[in-house]
Amino acid sequence: MTSNSRRTVYLDHAATTPMLPVAIEVMTQHLARTGNASSLHGSGRAARRTVEESRETIAAALNAQPSEVVFTSGGTEADNLALKGLWWARLKEDPRRRRILLSGVEHHAVLDPAIWLGQHEGAEIEWLPVDELGRVRPDDVREAIEKDPGSVSFVTLMMANNEVGTLQPVREVAALAREHGIPVHTDAVQAVGQVPVDFAELGVDAMTVSAHKLGGPFGIGALVVHKETQLVPIVHGGGQERDVRSGTLDSPATAGFAVAIEHTVKHQAAEAQRLTELRDALIAGVIGRVPGAKLSGDPVRRLPGNAHLSFKDCEGDSLLLLLDARGIEVSTGSACNAGVAEPSHVLLAMGYDDQRARGSLRFTLGHTSTRDDVDVVLDNIVPVVERAMSAGLQNVGRNN
């Protein structure tokens, strides 16, 4: 097959998933319409109707009340609103509430605002340990809370890890925290559409959702906030979104978000079964072909579309670029800081050594993924790993 005719195999759905055709169609229709949802004339009222109908659809998909859905610009803003909003609201009620409990495997959209609160607002950050599968144990949460319940501001724990796919015991943690009146936030960005997500049943106080992870548009997400939970706003202006998040609402994006989440949640069970079969075939095929390849995260309680694998004696960045040259797009867990690749904080928190953490790839499947995609990876993984190992050994030789 020539490079001109080669198709791209996209296996990075955890970064973003292609928009669903139904979402593109609906959003395109609304883009042609004029109207600010805060205006009182006919065009404004039509835009407001779009926003509120979208809010109702999203709430129904998540088993929340429409008034609990606060639109944001995406998952990062929603996480910041949850953490900072909870922090200042809880501190206002009781200045002793300075402890924030979270795990070391959270997304940077949670880690960084928590660390910021520690550096600038006097928050006391307490890291909940995770096991080798990347899971927080409820007993560790209980122990941390019961050490001094009155000093805890809130707990934040993601529903599903974005790198290794491990599902967290959010429901159990929320129940523990509720015994002491402590609010819980969960980042459910990776979970919605992949596993069942029921806001009311989870018992959390705030939950983050992002449209572009489930077939909707970029630039819009939501923080689902329990009706009795108080948040201090971090964006001030026109007082939109219950006075919690000001800013002109993007009515076309809300429409695209709504139809995407409705479609994805409706088909979640069947799609999860399909993706699980593809994922398991990919994992078994890679491990069967590549000596030393290992699966990361929980082998059972994981996202159906996530296959996170580590490879011996080679760098994940090299593997990624070699696969990319063959038209296969995946991700690594490493982050680039000042031009230097660093091991994933998630894998280090799970107890991985630097080499295994650096030599990892994340394959994430979604609604466009097929068995042919899996077969292309399996046809290419051995020569790619061999070349990456060769490059790694050459670099070691140069450094010695």
Half-sphere exposure of 171 (CA within 13 A, CB side): 8
Q: Which of 200, 336, 382, 393 is catalytic?
A: 336
Report the candidate in 152, 153, 187, 154 with the shortest Cα–Cα distance to residue 170.
187
Beta carbons within 8 Å of 227's beta carbon, 6+ residues apart = 65, 67, 68
**How far is residue 66 from each of residues 23, 36, 291, 318, measured CA to CA in Å?**
20, 20, 51, 46
Distance CA 360, CA 281 (A): 18
Distance CA 81, CA 63 (A): 21
Distance CA 400, CA 205 (A): 54
**Joined tokens for residue 202:** 């989870």
314 is catalytic: no
Distance CA 31, CA 35 (A): 10
Reading phi first (left if > 0) and then psi (alpha if -120 to 50, else beta), residue 192 is in: beta
**Joined tokens for residue 153:** 């501001």
Q: Are 309 and 286 in contact (CB under 8 A)?
A: yes
CA diameter of the chain:
73
The label of the residue with tokens 């997400």 reads 221
Helix or strand holding residue 89 (H, E): helix 75-93
**Joined tokens for residue 279:** 């994922």
> Strand 360-364 relative to strand 184-187: parallel, antiparallel, unpaired?
unpaired
**Joined tokens for residue 373:** 């995609």
CA angle at residue 179 from 177 to 183, to 5 degrees? Answer: 35
Distance CA 281, CA 266 (A): 25
Distance CA 3, CA 297 (A): 35
Q: Taking each helix axis as running N to C, give the angle between helix 251-266 and helix 21-31, from 0 to 180 degrees, rounded to the nearest 10.
A: 160
Rg of the chain taking only CA atoms, in angstroms:
22
- The DSSP symbol for 168 reads P
Residues belonging to the active site: 336
